[in-house]
Structure 1
Amino acid sequence: MSLQIPRPVDPSLHPLVTGNYRLATPAIEVFYELVTRCLRYRIMGALIYGPSRVGKTRAIEYVRLLLAREYPKITTYHAQCEHRPRHAEGPFFANLLEAVDDHAPNAGTSSAKRSRLSLRIREAAARSGSNAVLLFLDEAQRFNENEYEWLRDVHDVLDRQQIKLFTFLVGQEELLAQKTALQLAGKTQIVARLMVDELAFYGIRNARDVATCLNGYDQTAYPEGTPWSFTRFYVPEAFDAGYRLVSDAGQLWQTFEAAHRKASLPGNLDLPMESFVRAVEIVLKESEIKDAPGYCPEQALWSHAVQHCGYIQSRHATGRVLATA
């Protein structure tokens, strides 16, 4: 029985248990292409928008990991835009200072915070030896016109100091509406600096996308450099006998489609990463105790996983085409 087979690390530390792992998806690959295109063509700002829970926050982290590997000299930051009834300058700059690792983000006046933000970014660029710095702003639809103006001011200050700040506004579909509203209001300076390019982010849309993601579990090793892929860690006997999760891609997609239809949900299936990942984790964890040479998950287990991954529940809870946070 596979539970007796020694694993290279304590199972409680595995990324599948801690949730600390990222999967490449076709949408993430397109996101990364957008970022590298902006770098290449010196496009200083773009917006990436899509429904909630399709995996935008995880995508930012994955893109940053890829950038760290492919562009080691470029500094990247990830700020979470906060919801505030009052859009005040002090908290806005404190939030960004926290993202750029300032030791006392709340200290000083708004003006002092603004200066310190530019200084921290300039210092990071000097340390890394590149004048390009990337800032990913998550849930950016929470910004209003004032915050976009303050952000543009930061761009201008850094530009005068020969630092190129590339800003990627990531958020829900309202972001696109904000861009249109700013264009109609004649605020072209904001759009031209922060919102030049755009990308509609999406979830998992077909069996091919499912296969891409399942292949990640079959190929990604933990610990790195060992023969212990995520799939093998949970079903080593089945894996060594030739089983791969990717071979069940069509089955998993059809199971989600059947659940989508049965629940009479509107529109085509556009599967949030959150639901997909949870379904796969359920199958691997349940399979661990059944592992044997020749084992593969039964249809009943895939159905159980789809039923308990939260997809149908979250869609019903909102009454919207896709669940919102």
Structure 2
Amino acid sequence: MNASWQPFPVAFFFMDYGKPEKATENYFSATFLETAGMRTIRHATGAESMMRACNLLMERTRDLCQEAIAVVINEANRFTSFEHDHLVTLDNLLERRKKRAFFILIYQNDAEWGGQQAIDHRPPTQVTGRFYSMAHQFTGLLWGNANAIDFQGCDVTMAFNEYDEGVIFPDDETGVPCTAYFARNAYMNGYRLTSQVGLFREVVEDLRVKNHLPAIAPFPMQSFERFVYFLLVRIAGEDPNFRQFNREQALKALLWAGYIELELSKHAVVPDDTHR
């Protein structure tokens, strides 16, 4: 892993959190251990399991010759008061060993049935002070200037450029950028996905307006990746005479990607049942 971009000597530990029936210390610590491929001890006490999780994180910093550790927990929106208490326990164990830990809790604000759950629904002050001192709101890919290829001010253009120049396929010494692989002849003649950002934007805006949505909105990564997949693999990759995409193909890819269903679900009206 290339760590040259890091301004501080920090080791990263990534884990996904489940949704247990009982959020015990054993379940919480087992998630850390199993993520690292370690065996859990069935009859260990909660305190013993938490200490093993602490030792794991200590070893991670030592193995990577780092001074601090960043614990990145995905699906932290599933946390209850019990998980926050376990996090406090783990933080205390690390602190007593003079190890600095940073906890990065990733919340999916649209992950719950029956409405949104937001990071603003925070736990008590002691927990908030430790783990919620800073928040960053992620968006989809933002559009920039509608009339120019803007690699700095347009997230969508930058994302397309990754397929044109950055992401290599296949992932070996024979690999080339994705656009070059699936649209080889067109690429050799100068074609790039970024050259058609204007067309893609028009198709997206037209589709949104037809479905009574605001014309401009961030492009969700979930549907963007599927959109590009369909364009490159299912259209360009299957046409040896491909030169560039037309409006019909762009719309077909957008619909196949489930773009409009995802956007409509975010704007769905929740029935008011307070009087039932």
TM-score range, shorter-chain basis? 0.7 to 0.9
Secondary structure of 1:168's counterpart equals: strand
Q: Could you tell which deviates more after superposition, 79-88 or 113-122?
A: 79-88
What is the 5 A alignment of 1:164-183? 164-173=100-109, 174-179=117-122, 182=123
Secondary structure of 2:119's counterpart equals: helix
Secondary structure of 1:177's counterpart equals: coil
1:274 alignment partner, one of 197, 222, 236? 222
Q: What is the CA RMSD across the aligned residues, in angstroms?
A: 2.5
In structure 1, the partner of 2:62 is 126
1:132 Cα shift? 1.0
Residue 82 (str. 1) matches residue 39 (str. 2)? no
2:197 alignment partner, one of 249, 252, 260? 249
1:287 alignment partner, one of 236, 243, 264? 236
What is the 5 A alignment of 1:300-315? 300-315=248-263
The superposition leaves residues 13-40 of structure 1 with CA deviations (integer Å, 9 ceiling, x where unpaired) of xxxxxxxxxxxxxxxxxxxxxxxxxxxx
Residue 296 (str. 1) matches residue 244 (str. 2)? yes
Higher relative contact order (CA 8 A, sep 6+): 1
1:238 Cα shift? 0.5
Please say if residues 118 and 158 of structure 1, whose CA atoms lie closer than 8 Å, have aligned partners that are also in contact.
yes
1:103 Cα shift? 2.7
1:140 Cα shift? 0.6
Give the structure-2-normalised TM-score: 0.81
What is the 5 A alignment of 1:1-325? 68=3, 70-71=5-6, 74-104=10-40, 108-173=44-109, 174-179=117-122, 182=123, 187-207=124-144, 208-220=154-166, 221-222=168-169, 223=171, 228-265=176-213, 268-285=216-233, 286-292=235-241, 295-316=243-264, 320=268
Taking the aligned partners of 2:42 and 2:216, their CA distance within structure 1 comes to 46
Taking the aligned partners of 1:237 and 1:277, their CA distance within structure 2 comes to 23
| Structure-2 change in CA distance of 1:141 and 1:158 (3 Å) | same
Secondary structure of 2:120's counterpart equals: helix
Taking the aligned partners of 2:201 and 2:127, their CA distance within structure 1 comes to 41
1:188 Cα shift? 2.2
Taking the aligned partners of 1:102 and 1:139, their CA distance within structure 2 comes to 21
Please say if residues 180 and 188 of structure 2, whose CA atoms lie closer than 8 Å, have aligned partners that are also in contact.
yes
| Structure-2 change in CA distance of 1:268 and 1:239 (3 Å) | closer
Taking the aligned partners of 1:267 and 1:196, their CA distance within structure 2 comes to 35
Q: Could you tell which deviates more after superposition, 141-150 or 96-105?
A: 96-105
In structure 1, the partner of 2:114 is none
Taking the aligned partners of 2:32 and 2:119, their CA distance within structure 1 comes to 22
Secondary structure of 1:307's counterpart equals: helix
Give the structure-1-normalised TM-score: 0.70
Taking the aligned partners of 1:107 and 1:258, their CA distance within structure 2 comes to 60
Taking the aligned partners of 1:212 and 1:123, their CA distance within structure 2 comes to 38
Taking the aligned partners of 2:230 and 2:41, their CA distance within structure 1 comes to 40
In structure 2, the partner of 1:38 is none
Taking the aligned partners of 1:229 and 1:247, their CA distance within structure 2 comes to 16
Taking the aligned partners of 1:108 and 1:254, their CA distance within structure 2 comes to 60
Opposite residue 288 of structure 1, the aligned amino acid is G
Taking the aligned partners of 2:216 and 2:179, their CA distance within structure 1 comes to 29
1:166 Cα shift? 1.0
Opposite residue 201 of structure 1, the aligned amino acid is F
1:237 Cα shift? 0.7
1:85 Cα shift? 4.0
| Structure-2 change in CA distance of 1:90 and 1:266 (3 Å) | farther
1:278 Cα shift? 0.5
| Structure-2 change in CA distance of 1:227 and 1:211 (3 Å) | same
How many equivalent residue pairs? Answer: 249
1:244 Cα shift? 0.4
1:302 Cα shift? 0.6
Please say if residues 204 and 210 of structure 1, whose CA atoms lie closer than 8 Å, have aligned partners that are also in contact.
yes
Query: Which consecutive unaligned segments of at least 5 residues does structure 1 have?
Result: 1-64
